[in-house]
Amino acid sequence: MWKFISLFLFTILVLGQTSLAYNCSDIVVDRIKFDLSDLNKVEEIIGDVEVTHPTYTRTNYLINPCEPLTYKDDQVDQCENGTYICEIIINYLKDPRDPKESDPKNRTISIKSVAGGDIKESISLGPVLNDVDSHGNLSIILHGGSYKNESQQANITFICSEQNKTANIIGYKENTLFIEWETKAACGERIPEEDKGMGGFTKFILIIIFIVLCYFGIGAAYNYHVYKAHGWDLLPHLDFWRDFPYLVSDFFKYLVNFIRTGRGGYARV
């Protein structure tokens, strides 16, 4: 029995994790819809050259925020399959920025999978930039990366912009790569509020009130035209309504007595 329950809970957990995979073209946060499908391609970011005497070092990134990376035929340095963001650190014996150095003799010293594998995401909406258009900064945290047995992740902030720009690497700290990306795709569209109308309970109450009004209205009209009744005599079933408070009182007395003694009727003296 316990094995079955454990298997069931494990299945629910796996399904819950699987459901975290997101559709890049249909992201909805706070009733604002974003379509990042225009960014569904490999973005190559060539980093600045850092002087690491007596050599030179450059950190490059391959990024696709929507799907695993695909590589060019001549791409030698590659992350593992399923990677969304790959960091490649290359070391040069000579300055690669120098136009005289046609062959700076480089070697790759690090290839890091920043995000990918069993990818999960955490999506949030930043400060609203324009109350009219309801544009905001869309932040996505992509998990699933790994390097030297340590988990890696990327925090990408998409900023609404009139122009599509190259992703900007802000920094890499505590196993998290921070990226800011100005793009038209971050200019979300507000989803109109649906007119939900009245709830079910409200409709039920209104129906009851309508039935009661019809009952008294039709009954009063009948008594007036048939019996020429006036005043309180217009009420239908007048004798019942006169006794109604006493019936309610007797019912509650019976209910209290039943709770105390466990049976109906009167308790033994």
CATH number of 27-190: 2.70.130.10
Q: Whose structure tokens read 């009219």?
A: 132
Residue 1: its pLDDT value, please?
Answer: 42
Q: Is 5 helix (H, G, I), strand (E, B) or coil?
A: helix
CA 241 to chain centre: 55
Contact 134, 32 (CB under 8 A): yes
pLDDT at 196: 56
> Any idea where the domains of the chain sit in the sequence?
27-190, 200-257
The answer to whether 34 touches 185, Cβ cutoff 8 Å, is yes
Please tell me the predicted confidence (pLDDT) of residue 197.
61
Strands (DSSP E) along 93-200, which ranges? 106-116, 121-130, 135-147, 150-160, 168-173, 176-183, 189-190
From first to last of its 269 residues, what are the pLDDT tens digits of the chain?
A: 444 434 444 333 333 333 345 688 888 887 788 899 999 999 999 999 999 999 999 999 999 999 999 998 888 889 988 899 999 999 999 998 888 877 778 888 999 999 886 556 666 665 544 443 445 678 888 888 888 889 999 999 999 888 899 999 999 999 999 999 999 988 888 888 765 566 778 888 989 999 999 988 898 888 888 888 888 888 888 888 888 888 888 888 888 888 887 665 554 54
Contact between residue 55 and residue 91 where contact means Cβ atoms under 8 Å apart: yes
Q: Is the separation of the CB atoms in 154 and 85 below 8 Å?
A: yes
